[in-house]
Amino acid sequence: MSVVLVDAGGTNIGSVRYALQRLGVDAALTADAAQIRQADKVILPGVGAAAPGMARLRELGLVEVIRSLTQPVLGVCLGMQLLCEHSSEGDTACLGVVPAQVRRFEEAPDRCVPHMGWNRLTPVVEHSLLKGLQEGDWAYFVHSYAVPLGAYTLASSDYGDGFSAVIAKDNFHGMQFHPERSASVGAKLLKNFLEL
């Protein structure tokens, strides 16, 4: 099985790659369109802001490449948000493969932004990506923007309001949390993705 990590400049690439190595997969880091198209699985990692993330994909000529993929694709953290239609972060048009609008968390006296740390997951629908996930399992988040709940939501979390923690639309999947930093739960979900 060939797995590629899209080299879109995300700072979590090294830790995602190491998490995959622990599962016995040596993922190639690439911005080569042909290699991405030929891979069995494609992972779009990302840490940072939506506008620079999309600018990097445009510079690399990968926007249409990613949109046209038919194999399983996983966006992680910012990578998940980039799969959506639009982000209010920098008023950014994204890849548009998931019909969702990414919005900033509302700040509150008891709730700072970014949402950072461990939070519980709630499965919303049965999906092979969530195999073995239990209600209340913990995952590690670092983000200021979130995807609202919708028909694409596989699992939710809550930070003042509910938001999408795991999404899917056709062959495109996303995890808002960092599976590579989420201990056994993250490893389980990455393994599930590799088995899709």
Going from the N-terminus, what domains does the chain have, and what CATH number goes with each?
3-194 (3.40.50.880)
**91-109: average pLDDT:** 96
pTM above 0.95, yes or no: yes
pLDDT confidence tier of residue 162, bands split at 50, 70 and 90: very high
pLDDT at 10: 66
d(CA 176, CA 76): 6
77 is catalytic: yes
Please identify which of the residues 64, 77, 126, 135 carries the catalytic annotation. 77
Write down the pLDDT at residue 99. Answer: 97
Rounded Cα distance, 115 and 159, in Å: 7
112 flagged as catalytic: no
84 is catalytic: no
| C-alpha–C-alpha distance, residues 85 and 66, integer Å | 14
Alpha helix ranges (H) inside the chain: 13-22, 33-38, 50-59, 63-67, 78-82, 183-194
